[in-house]
Amino acid sequence: MDADVIVIGAGVAGLAAARSLTARSQRVILVEARDRVGGRVWSDSSVRGALAAELGAEFIHGRAAETMALLRAAGTTAIDIGGESWRVSDDGELRRDDDDDDFTSASGIFEGARMLARDESANRFLQRFHKDKAMQGTVRAARAFVEGFDAADPDVASARAIADEWRSGVGFTIARPLGGYGPMVEYLYNTCRATRVCSRLSTVVRRISWRRGAVSLEVRGAQGDTQILRCRVAILTLPVGVLRHSGDDTEIVFDPELPNPKRDALQSIETGQAVRVGMWFRTPFWERICDGRYRNGAFFRSLAQPFAVYWTQLPVRSELVVAWAGRPKAMALSGASEEDLVRLAVDGFGALLGDPALAHEEFELGVTTDWSRDPFARGAYSYVAVGGADARARLAAPVDDTLFFAGEATSNDSEGGTVNGALETGERAARQAAASLGAQRVNNG
Ligand SMILES: Cc1cc2nc3c(=O)[nH]c(=O)nc-3n(C[C@H](O)[C@H](O)[C@H](O)COP(=O)(O)OP(=O)(O)OC[C@H]3O[C@@H](n4cnc5c(N)ncnc54)[C@H](O)[C@@H]3O)c2cc1C
């Protein structure tokens, strides 16, 4: 055996699992396809200026106990987002808007979905309110949150799952790690190395052969070489899109196949799509135009634009603005070149502020990452499809006390799709794997 446990994937779930296992004295190999750790958390500090560019996760949602503890351990902390929300109204005017109230009423409208005899799609559920004129604003905001916040297709997303998730308050309180997520990932990785986790970066898992108490992985290294790694149990932190993918040489083959309940669960969890563009300007010009009207602008929304929302870094004042498109706008943008995406984002931000020429004049640099075309992510983050109320729990369930599952999609505490959810599942899978190894040792005498 090369290790007691092999953890597949060095995103935050995999790092948390590996760290927790070595603290339990297990021999661990951490296998990661990319040449870096962090997965869908990717802070790039080489881009420009004092602020790291977050190419994946940026915010902290809800209480996020695991994240907060790790940030403290990494010597940093979180900072609440502050500032004003602005929205382009139906008449085309950019006006102040109270975002919190929008989210409260949007989640309020979904409360009724908890009582449905049969689950239905978010869209179908919202259609119940179409005749009520007084509800139109709330319905529109609720749909925009399903698309923008959950990056989900409202025709597919489960109304019940949304009601549960939003009720938990995950969306209400929003903060950012001070200095980005980078220090937290670095801290996790350093702890893994210090506790002798053997990490294998640029190593792609291609085949997982398993029977009770024994797993063998066929992996491909950076030079194209194939190797076999053996362990007693494995923790899989692979994104749903990766687990569901088939038909080319990035498909992960299971031998034997995963049991039916696991494959059914995978069919009930979808991966949301989002396009995110970071734009650096020479100066924070939006703070000074119109007599400083937008100086404290944190979020700018316009449903009519290719990017429905832009945010600044407030309370930190900086030249960085992020443009965000969730589904279906992200689908409309898919296939666009990086250059086109950046241009559209600058155009949109300028148009929203009433001065596209100034936005282009001030623009310096843009970055974007296409997570849907990334073979090791295949989308942004997961959401539950109609009828999949218990799908996250089924995906999380161990197979034969030998294959354990972690990663954001397996979080069944309404934190699916988040960094904190992923961290928590890594810890959970580590506890389960350690318990299984303990039992194997007792049984083997
Ligand atoms: C654009 C974007 C914005 C986001 N914003 C937020 C936010 O503001 N707040 C928030 O809480 N969350 C956010 N998220 C979601 C958050 O990033 C994820 O929920 C979380 O990082 C998932 O961690 P994970 O460990 O479960 O998965 P991952 O980070 O995807 O880790 C899985 C790892 O497995 C590796 N892997 C894949 N295939 C193979 C293979 N064949 N062999 C070996 N390794 C493999 C991958 O390279 C990856 O490193 C965002 C995500 C995106 C994409």
CATH 3.10.180.10 fits 3-76+178-271+383-443, yes or no: no
Which of 6, 20, 37, 40 has most ligand 1 atoms within 8 Å of CB, for mutation? 40
> For ligand 1, which residues put their CB under 6 angstroms from it?
8-14, 31-34, 39-41, 56-59, 61, 204-205, 237-239, 242, 252, 274, 276, 371, 376-377, 380-381, 407-408, 417-419, 422
Structure tokens at 256: 């034997």
Counting from 1 in the atom list of ligand 1, the atom nearest the Cα of 407 is: 26
Per-domain residue ranges for the chain? 3-76+178-271+383-443, 79-177+274-368
Type and span of the H or E element at 277: strand 274-281
CATH 3.50.50.60 fits 79-177+274-368, yes or no: yes
Q: Report the helix count and the strand count for the chain, using DSSP H and E.
A: 14, 22
Which of 381, 395, 425 has most ligand 1 atoms within 8 Å of CB, for mutation? 381
**Calpha distance 31→8 (Å, rounded):** 5
Give CA 388 to chain center in angstroms.
19
> pLDDT value at position 168?
72
Give CA 431 to chain center in angstroms.
23
Q: In the chain, what are the helix, strand and coil shares in percent, each to the nearest 5?
A: 35, 25, 40
**Calpha distance 432→410 (Å, rounded):** 14
**Calpha distance 442→445 (Å, rounded):** 5
Counting from 1 in the atom list of ligand 1, the atom nearest the Cα of 204 is: 42
Give CA 183 to chain center in angstroms.
18
Give the C-alpha distances (Å, rounded to integers) separating 146 from 161, 291, 345, 383. Answer: 11, 35, 21, 10
Structure tokens at 64: 């996020």
Counting from 1 in the atom list of ligand 1, the atom nearest the Cα of 274 is: 1
**Calpha distance 422→44 (Å, rounded):** 20
Counting from 1 in the atom list of ligand 1, the atom nearest the Cα of 369 is: 1
What angle (nearest 5°) sits at the alpha carbon of residue 157, between those of residues 153 and 159? 135
Question: Ligand 1 center to residue 312 CA distance, Å?
Answer: 23
Within 8 A by CB and 6+ apart from 122, the residues are 110, 142, 143, 146, 152, 154, 155, 157, 158, 159, 162
What angle (nearest 5°) sits at the alpha carbon of residue 433, between those of residues 371 and 60? 40
Amino acid (one-letter) located at 174: I
Question: Ligand 1 center to residue 210 CA distance, Å?
Answer: 25
Question: Ligand 1 center to residue 139 CA distance, Å?
Answer: 30
> Each residue of 19-63: pLDDT tens digit?
999 999 999 999 999 999 999 999 987 777 667 789 999 999 988
Which residues are 321's β-sheet partners? 279
SS3 category, 430: helix
> pLDDT value at position 273?
95
Give the C-alpha distances (Å, rounded to integers) separating 82 from 50, 98, 237, 315, 317. Answer: 19, 12, 33, 5, 11
**Calpha distance 422→150 (Å, rounded):** 16
Tracing tokens 């489960």 back to the chain, one arrives at 158
Please list the ranges in the chain whose pLDDT falls under 70.
49-50, 98-101, 169-173, 445
> Each residue of 233-246: pLDDT tens digit?
999 999 999 999 99
Q: Which residues of 344-382 are buried (b: 16+ CB within 10 A; e: fewer)?
A: bbbbbbbebbebeeebeebbebbbbbbbbebebbbbbbb
Which residues are 85's β-sheet partners? 97, 299
Q: Are 10 and 30 in contact (CB under 8 A)?
A: yes
**Calpha distance 292→311 (Å, rounded):** 17
Counting from 1 in the atom list of ligand 1, the atom nearest the Cα of 14 is: 25
Closest C-alpha residue for ligand 1 atom 50: 57
**Calpha distance 86→124 (Å, rounded):** 29
Read out DSSP for 164-213?
Answer: HHHHTTTTTSEEEETT-SHHHHHHHHHHHHHTT-EEE-S-EEEEEEEETT
Tracing tokens 């899109």 back to the chain, one arrives at 241
> pLDDT value at position 46?
72
- The two domains 3-76+178-271+383-443 and 79-177+274-368 share their CATH topology (first three levels equal): yes
Question: Ligand 1 center to residue 287 CA distance, Å?
Answer: 33
> pLDDT value at position 314?
95
**Calpha distance 265→395 (Å, rounded):** 6
Parallel, antiparallel or unpaired: strands 226-236 and 60-61: unpaired
Question: Ligand 1 center to residue 164 CA distance, Å?
Answer: 22
Counting from 1 in the atom list of ligand 1, the atom nearest the Cα of 408 is: 26
**Calpha distance 237→288 (Å, rounded):** 46
**Calpha distance 253→206 (Å, rounded):** 6
Q: Are 78 and 176 in contact (CB under 8 A)?
A: yes
- Is it true that the peptide bond before 315 is cis, omega within 30 degrees of 0? yes
**Calpha distance 219→365 (Å, rounded):** 37
Which among 239, 248, 208, 266 is positioned nearest to 395, based on CA atoms? 266
User: Phi/psi at 166 (nearest 5 deg)?
Assistant: -70, -30
Question: Ligand 1 center to residue 383 CA distance, Å?
Answer: 14
Counting from 1 in the atom list of ligand 1, the atom nearest the Cα of 421 is: 19
> pLDDT value at position 101?
61
